[in-house]
């Protein structure tokens, strides 16, 4: 099988487009080979009866070019199909993600503690809570414990701390600090008691350790 040079193929492409080849574009082109292969011919002038100097592409030449570039066209079609498929899948994923996000947002709105009560996250993963949010959560957990507390109207600080810290993702030290701070400033709202309890499970207050509390 005869192989055409790049110059031959380039010239054949330009001829198929009806372009007149410049002199530099003719260099290295084997026009005789193209003609012998039946890819080009030289039409006869109706005026002079002689062959024209400008070649024209034949049906065989057009077929050659189509076959030559068919693989590239197939690759282009394949890529386009893949892109379209990816676009469809991405759109489907986006719709599903938006639906899930809406559901999650609705569930958050039903929580007893709004998300905006959480001020920030520290590097250790602890949530830093403002005082109002702390008091709200502490009052609610205190009310639940009070129903079954054997030392009512007091409840165990240890148990209350565990519930509040779990609910607010709060560190024990932060809970103790905030509880004592409020009790010192407002002893009516937070009333601490030195009720008996296991050492180290209460909160340090004054010279001792408090194990029970009333929250109002």
Domain with residue 161: its CATH number is 1.10.10
Q: Which of 63, 85, 107 finishes a domain? A: 85
What total of structural domains would you count in the chain? 2
Q: Does any domain span residue 170? A: yes
Q: Does any domain span residue 119? A: yes
179 and 140 within one domain: yes
Q: Does any domain span residue 98? A: no
Q: Which residues, at least 6 apart from 65, have a Cβ–Cβ distance to it below 8 Å?
A: 12, 13, 16, 57
205 and 164 within one domain: yes
Q: Does any domain span residue 101? A: no
- In order along its 216 residues, the chain shows pLDDT tens digits of 577 888 888 888 988 888 888 888 888 889 988 888 999 998 888 888 888 888 889 999 888 888 877 655 555 555 656 666 665 676 677 667 767 766 766 665 554 443 333 334 444 555 678 889 999 999 999 999 999 999 999 999 999 999 999 999 888 988 999 999 999 999 999 999 887 788 889 998 877 899 999 999
Domain extent, residue 175, equals: 115-215
119 and 207 within one domain: yes
């Amino acid at each position: 099988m005869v192989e055409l040079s790049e110059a031959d193929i380039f010239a054949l492409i330009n001829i198929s487009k009806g372009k007149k080849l410049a002199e530099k574009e003719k260099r290295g082109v084997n026009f005789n080979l193209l003609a012998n292969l039946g890819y080009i011919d030289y039409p006869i002038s109706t005026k002079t009866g002689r062959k024209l100097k400008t070649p024209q592409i034949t049906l065989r030449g057009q077929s050659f070019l189509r076959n030559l570039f068919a693989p590239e066209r197939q690759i282009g079609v394949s890529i386009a199909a893949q892109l379209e498929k990816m676009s469809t899948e991405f759109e489907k994923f986006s719709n599903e993600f938006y639906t899930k996000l809406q559901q999650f947002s609705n569930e958050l709105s039903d929580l007893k503690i709004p998300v905006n009560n959480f001020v920030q996250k520290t590097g250790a993963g602890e949530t830093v809570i403002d005082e109002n949010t702390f008091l709200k959560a502490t009052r609610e957990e205190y009310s639940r414990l009070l129903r079954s507390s054997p030392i009512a109207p007091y409840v165990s600080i240890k148990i209350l701390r565990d519930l509040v810290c779990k609910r607010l993702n709060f560190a024990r030290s932060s809970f103790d600090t905030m509880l004592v701070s409020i009790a010192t400033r407002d002893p009516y709202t937070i009333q601490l008691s030195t009720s008996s309890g296991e050492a180290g499970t209460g909160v340090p207050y004054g010279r001792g350790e408090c194990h029970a509390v009333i929250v109002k």
